Amino acid sequence: MCSTGGDTLLNRPNNGMADTGSGSDLATGKLAEPVSDLDAFVRLLASHDSATRALHEWCRARGIADPAIIRVEHTGKGEEAAVPAGTLRTLLEIDEAEPLGYRHVRLLCGDITMSVAHNFYVPCRLTTAMNATLDTSDTPFGIAVEALRFTRERLDPVEGATPGCPGDTVLSQSALLRRTDRQPISLVIECYTPAILAPPVPRSVEIGRAHV
């Protein structure tokens, strides 16, 4: 059964609930060991409830595009078997009769595809305006619903591709997004492309490119 829609939660306090997985272990006071670019990206992703915000920060820091704006392109409904139906509905805490929304998109920084994502969401737990935005625009899901102040419950990241991800995926990450009342609103499967590991663009090159 689906609970009341998200309209009633927009002005609800967060009740002191913390995201259990968004802390950072970088400020230990010890000399940090060198980390790979992939490890650095995983840490950045873990520090954000919105993957879109994490991609924006990574894109800007690496000079991948200027301006570092994340946008989506819809790719159709060809990979809905990425999650077994029973598992999906169990994770989202809904019954067989509850309608599901689905988005299969590429997230781009400039013209560079940073990730391919499957997003299974529960429309009745969003506001009317949010559903309209998701149905009629290319706004990233995390931006469309961020007024709900959702938290991100990360499932284990996997290096490489998992079912539903392109073969060249370097990191697969699944996550449940929850409202402040802990109701799940979305299960996302994110397939990060080799573009996230591209060498950073030197600042001088980035500035010159911005003026071309």
For residue 203, the tally of other CB atoms under 10 A from its CB is: 9
DSSP structure class, residue 65: S
More confident residue, 170 or 84: 170
If you average pLDDT over residues 94-100, what whole number do you get? Answer: 95
Average pLDDT, the chain: 84
If you average pLDDT over residues 11-27, what whole number do you get? Answer: 40
What pLDDT, on the 0 to 100 scale, is given for residue 10? 59
Q: Is the pLDDT of residue 15 over 80?
A: no
- Residue 173: alpha-carbon gap to chain centroid: 9
Q: Is the pLDDT of residue 1 over 50?
A: yes
SS (H, E, C) 158-177: EECCCCCCCCCCCEEEEEEE
- Exposure of 2 by Cβ count < 10 A (0-12 exposed, 13-18 middle, 19+ buried)? middle
Q: Is the pLDDT of residue 206 over 90?
A: no
DSSP, collapsed to helix, strand or coil, labels residue 186 as: strand
CA dihedral of 88, 89, 91, 92, whole degrees rounded to 10: 120
If you average pLDDT over residues 78-92, what whole number do you get? Answer: 79
Q: Is the pLDDT of residue 205 over 50?
A: no
CB–CB of 161/192 below 8 Å?
A: no
Distance CA 195, CA 25 (A): 25
CB–CB of 12/22 below 8 Å?
A: no
More confident residue, 108 or 31: 108
Distance CA 51, CA 44 (A): 9
Question: Tens of pLDDT along 112-146?
Answer: 999 999 999 999 999 999 999 999 998 999 999 99
Q: Is the pLDDT of residue 154 over 80?
A: yes
- Exposure of 179 by Cβ count < 10 A (0-12 exposed, 13-18 middle, 19+ buried)? buried
